[in-house]
Amino acid sequence: MFLSVFDMFKVGVGPSSSHTMGPMVAAARFLDMMRAAPFAFHGLRASLHGSLAFTGVGHATDRATVLGLAGFLPDTYDHAKAEAALATIRDTGHVHPDGLPNLKFDPREDLMFDFGPNLAGHANGMILMATDAQGDVLMQETFYSIGGGFVMTEAELAAGKDTDEGTPVPYPFKSAAEMLTMAQTSGKSIAQMKKDNEIARGCADSLSRGCTRIWQVMNDCIDRGLTTDGTLPGGLNVKRRAKSIHDALQAERGMNLNAPHTINDWMSAYAMAVNEENAAGGQVVTAPTNGAAGVLPAVIRYWLDHVPGATTTRIDEFLLTSAAIGGLVKFNASISGAEAGCQAEVGSAAAMAAAGLCAVMGGTPEQVENAAEIALEHHLGMTCDPVKGLVQVPCIERNGLGAIKAVSAASLAMRGDGTHFVPLDSVIETMRQTGEDMHEKYKETSLGGLAVNVPNC
């Protein structure tokens, strides 16, 4: 099993990796299919299904689909150009992606929200269609956004490509137990094994540079969130709080009046800064998803700013260790809120962050696995119930608490010798089973939980 650090940590745009980035990527893939086809296309249509329909507006899925069909991509997204393109599309009812003719696409007519049963493959489904001059469908493809910005066609998902192991790597661990055995046999850390796997897949030259960029985008996102106030879009009138919390913390420094637990406020401020940026449609890094994007950066920033001996030279080690844990969760369970609730998003993020922190603090592979297990175990059963379908309430605060749990988990693991009662593999399997048992209304549909018990207008 191999999942690159650059698959786990992808630069993209908020508010959702599965509902915003995924549909945009799917649209880009469909445009490529059209460019390779021999047909004369005149128009486009799209339908959104399952969670993409129920919380699509709140997650900007409609906007992402329109922009994707206009040629925009998450990693090169430009907000000003996107706004201009949307205005033009609303006025003309057409899109003009590179390499294709001017295509009829009026979102008011050609983008449909289907609130019926989910498509067969996944809770996040969408169908894209290309039509002729009479409006008849010439080409059609079903895509599934399976979490974290990962997208697959119906055929790819049916063929098991989401669990495809690909070409061999030196350390092909599919479970935490295998990972620990390989670490013991090789004498290498989890990060070193992950690095060797990345190099075997041709990432030697770009690995350090890519990790540096990932952290730069994460850190820039924190800084923007800590210096920006105002009200988040979407209609809930949620006020940004990261800046005011950070300002207060800065003012209290050096006053010798702070209680020890104030460090939790620092972690929460860092995490909330990221998720407020995400909610505003800013640039973030999936870690492993947009909805959970604040946990891991907050823990890295906490480590760098507040832990003696921390150094940016070890961020690669943090990210590689985290990605190894994230890959295990995705391969054996899910990182999709629409598939398994928020335990799959913030829970996975906390496990990844705990593992990374434990590693850079000198933890053994056994302690790292223990840290991930503690963090994930104490998110089991967490539902995904965003109010009004927006990635704001409870998502923003939840990232702060996820970061706090991650640091606590790493600290507890470091206090032990790595032996513990519940293996990480058992917790991952429990999370998978819990996600299967969880009612759909608690899996990113906004049909239950806080979404129906909190006034949202």
| Residues facing 125 on adjacent strands | 49, 144
Percent of the chain with pLDDT over 90: 93
Averaged over 353-377, what is the pLDDT? 98
pLDDT at residue 456 is higher than 80: no
Q: Which tens digits make up the pLDDT trace of 382-420?
A: 999 999 999 999 999 999 999 999 999 999 999 999 999
Per-residue pLDDT at 46: 98
237: left (phi over 0), alpha (psi -120 to 50) or beta: left
Q: Which tens digits make up the pLDDT trace of 162-207?
A: 776 678 999 999 999 999 999 999 999 999 999 999 999 887 778 9
> Can you say whether the dihedral through the CA atoms of 267, 268, 273, 274 is positive or negative?
positive
Q: What is the pTM of this model?
A: 0.93
Cα 373 → chain centroid: 20
Per-residue pLDDT at 1: 66
Could you tell me the two tokens for 233? Answer: 């879009």
Q: Among residues 163, 170, 164, 165, which one has the least CA distance to residue 197?
A: 170
For the purposes of burial, counting CB atoms within 10 Å of the CB of 84, is it exposed (0-12), middle (13-18) or buried (19 or more)? exposed
Averaged over 248-253, what is the pLDDT? 93
Q: Which tens digits make up the pLDDT trace of 24-81?
A: 999 999 999 999 999 999 999 999 999 999 999 999 999 999 999 999 999 999 989 9
Q: Among residues 224, 192, 272, 25, which one has the least CA distance to residue 124?
A: 25
**What is the chain's mean pLDDT, rounded?**
96
Q: Among residues 375, 368, 331, 385, which one has the least CA distance to residue 174?
A: 331
Per-residue pLDDT at 164: 64
**10 Å Cβ neighbour count for 255?**
7
Could you tell me the two tokens for 58? Answer: 């709140």
Query: Is 400 in contact with 294 (CB distance < 8 Å)?
Result: yes
Q: Among residues 331, 334, 285, which one has the least CA distance to residue 443?
A: 334
**10 Å Cβ neighbour count for 455?**
7
Out of 20-34, 227-241, 242-256, least confident range:
242-256
pLDDT at residue 161 is higher than 80: no
Per-residue pLDDT at 258: 83
Amino acid occupying residue 168: P
Per-residue pLDDT at 49: 97
Query: Is 113 in contact with 2 (CB distance < 8 Å)?
Result: no
Per-residue pLDDT at 296: 98
